[in-house]
């Protein structure tokens, strides 16, 4: 019934899907300013929304309430003092007989037991909610990871496209310069 716990370790982040990167790169038109401005915006919004959902899901009183219930239970148990069964000295021992001490301790024990039973029920309800929350968090984490990989694909496509442009630009500039010189040369002939 309990959800598997994921161990955190220093594992390399998965890379964006190469075919997705190529598809995005091919769709990127650097001459369309509106497309460039909106490039990757949907992926960025999905990552932001996913992170906001994770944060909202994590904010919960269930854990802090459970801690308070456990502290209350500890206080109840700590209040059960078996040393109160031993007779005190002096006049108190005369008026505080063994039966009275045992009866008082029994009432305290039964009262604490009833309260602990109620606290147990409260803790079980919170544990079930936390278990459901853990499943929900795992799902949201998987969604966020998918959105982050999509955003990474956009970033990688932009890197590739800009790298291509940087390699083509010097050649284009040289060709344009050569064409300009040839035109000037023809004009002077």
Q: What is the pLDDT of residues 14-33, one digit of tens each?
A: 777 888 888 888 888 878 88
Q: How large is the average pLDDT for residues 89-111?
A: 75
Residue 55, CA distances (Å) to 2, 34, 70, 142 in order: 22, 32, 25, 14
Q: Is 90 left (phi over 0), alpha (psi -120 to 50) or beta?
A: left
pLDDT band at residue 118 using 50, 70 and 90 as cut-offs: very high
Q: Is 87 left (phi over 0), alpha (psi -120 to 50) or beta?
A: beta
**Quick one: pLDDT at residue 163?**
84
Tokens of 32: 């369309």
pLDDT at 161 over 60: yes
**Quick one: pLDDT at residue 30?**
77
- Predicted TM-score of the model (pTM): 0.55
In angstroms, the CA 65 to CA 149 distance is 36
DSSP 8-state code for residue 63: H
Q: How large is the average pLDDT for residues 118-134?
A: 89
Q: Are 45 and 154 in contact (CB under 8 A)?
A: no
Query: DSSP assignment of 72-97, as one string?
Result: HHHHHHHH--GGGGS--STHHHHHS-
Tokens of 56: 């909202």
């Amino acid at each position: 019934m309990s959800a598997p716990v994921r161990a955190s370790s220093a594992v390399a982040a998965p890379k964006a899907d190469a075919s997705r990167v190529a598809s995005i790169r091919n769709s990127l038109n650097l001459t369309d300013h509106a497309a460039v401005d909106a490039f990757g915006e949907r992926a960025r919004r999905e990552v932001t929304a996913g992170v906001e959902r994770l944060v909202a899901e994590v904010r919960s009183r269930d854990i802090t309430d459970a801690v308070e219930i456990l502290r209350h239970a500890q206080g109840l148990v700590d209040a059960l003092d078996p040393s109160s069964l031993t007779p005190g000295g002096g006049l108190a021992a005369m008026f505080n007989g063994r039966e009275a001490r045992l009866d008082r301790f029994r009432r305290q024990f039964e009262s604490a037991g009833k309260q602990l039973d109620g606290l147990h029920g409260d803790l079980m309800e919170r544990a079930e909610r936390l278990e459901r929350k853990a499943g929900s968090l795992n799902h949201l984490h998987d969604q966020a990871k998918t959105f982050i990989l999509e955003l990474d694909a956009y970033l990688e496509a932009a890197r590739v496209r800009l790298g291509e442009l940087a390699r083509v630009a010097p050649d284009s500039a040289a060709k344009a310069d050569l064409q300009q010189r040839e035109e000037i040369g023809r004009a002077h002939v």
